[in-house]
Amino acid sequence: MPVRSCRVTFTDVDGVAHTVQVTAATLYEAVALGLAALRGNAWVMGLAQGFQTVKVRVTDIPVEHEVRLLDFTKWLERKGGSPRETSDRNRIKELLGAKRSP
């Protein structure tokens, strides 16, 4: 799977947008890397959850995606699926510091 350079933008609870540059192979990996980069950052006043939208812009070929954090969380917690999808979820859980599921 090709790795792409992406700009990931979140809006904090005060309405301030924060953008980080990450390199990811999938959309959800970009969301996870962006979350990991911004969590605990002194400038970020807290990231909203649920229906908050995350903007992902692929910068090598300009493509932009928006993912509701609720959809991301549901996908992350989903059981089963293809071996590739299960592997992707486990890898992304590890990026976020979660334990790997069996």
What confidence score (pLDDT) does residue 101 get?
53
Whether residue 69 is contained in a domain is answered as: yes
Containing structural domain, residue 19 = 4-95
Whether residue 17 is contained in a domain is answered as: yes
pTM: predicted TM-score of the whole model, two decimal places: 0.68
pLDDT tens-digit series, residues 69-98: 999 999 999 998 999 999 999 999 999 987
Please give the C-alpha separations between residue 78 and each of 60, 67, 72, in angstroms, as whole numbers: 30, 16, 10
Number of domains in the chain: 1
Whether residue 68 is contained in a domain is answered as: yes
Which ranges of the chain have pLDDT less than 70?
Answer: 44-45, 47-48, 50-51, 99-102
Please give the C-alpha separations between residue 97 and each of 32, 36, 90, 93, in angstroms, as whole numbers: 10, 9, 10, 6
